[in-house]
Amino acid sequence: MGTPSTTARIPARRNPVITAPATRYDRRLAEILVHATEVFCKKGYEGASMRDLSRESGMSLAGLYYYFESKERLLYLIQKHTFTTIVQRLKARLEGVGDAEERIRIFILNHLEYFLANQAAMKVLSHEAEALKNGFASDVAAIKREYYRICVGLLDGLKNERGLQFSTRIAVLSLFGMMNWIYTWHNPRVDANARSIASEMGDIFLRGVLENKRRER
């Protein structure tokens, strides 16, 4: 694949096999990314200092810069990897599924499962969406647009299949809102798992969108 997991100073070898152990460099970078994700999640991108990241990852301040050239690029790497992964998993799950409603349910489940399994990364993705600038920003925005377009496609598929009539834009963005807002309230000690939350949200959203006839009172 074309992910630019290039090094800071020395060009790295790309990873030939999926399950390969990767280079020492790549493994170390991945570790740092995990710790950085946690810090960005807890203190926010602007609120987190490089010294916070240094402390959390157990590496010296200067040592971090061997793996990335700036704090902004670090956030970029986190967001890009997270977004790419969730889109990739979605595509795999949608393959071979024809029913329009089922496809939307898969979309919701995939999103929420990944969200709750990678809460810190997804919060950083959702909450720091405006933190990147210029090239970094447009790069992530491209993936976001693709993800958005997929969801639009799913909903348009449902509309065509059942002859429904509603604003795809509002529906899609409402659905994203329902799902993404979860990072502000989800408590693993109180709330159910991703599967049942996805089921409940899927019920609300799909019934709401399917019943497009005016209801009588």
Identified binder of DNA from the candidate list 30, 44, 52, 199, rule CB under 7 A: 52
What is the smallest separation between the CB atom of 12 and DNA, expressed in angstroms? 8
Helix ranges (DSSP H) in 12-99: 24-43, 50-57, 61-64, 71-94
What is the smallest separation between the CB atom of 41 and DNA, expressed in angstroms? 15
Q: How far apart are CA 22 and CA 205, in angstroms?
A: 42
User: Which of 110, 56, 61 lies closest to 83 in space, CA to CA?
Assistant: 110
Question: Would you say 77 or 198 has its CB closer to a second copy?
Answer: 198
User: Which residues in this chain contact a second copy in the complex, by CB under 8 A?
Assistant: 44, 46-47, 101, 127, 129-131, 166-167, 169-171, 173-174, 176-182, 184-185, 191, 197, 200-201, 203-212, 215, 217
Residue 37: which residues within 8 A CB-CB, separation 6 or more?
Answer: 78, 120, 121, 124
Cα 2 off chain centre by: 18
Under the binding rule (CB under 7 A), the answer on residue 3 touching DNA is no
Under the binding rule (CB under 7 A), the answer on residue 55 touching DNA is no
List contacts with DNA (CB under 7 A): 6-10, 23-25, 28, 48-52, 59-63, 65-67, 69-72
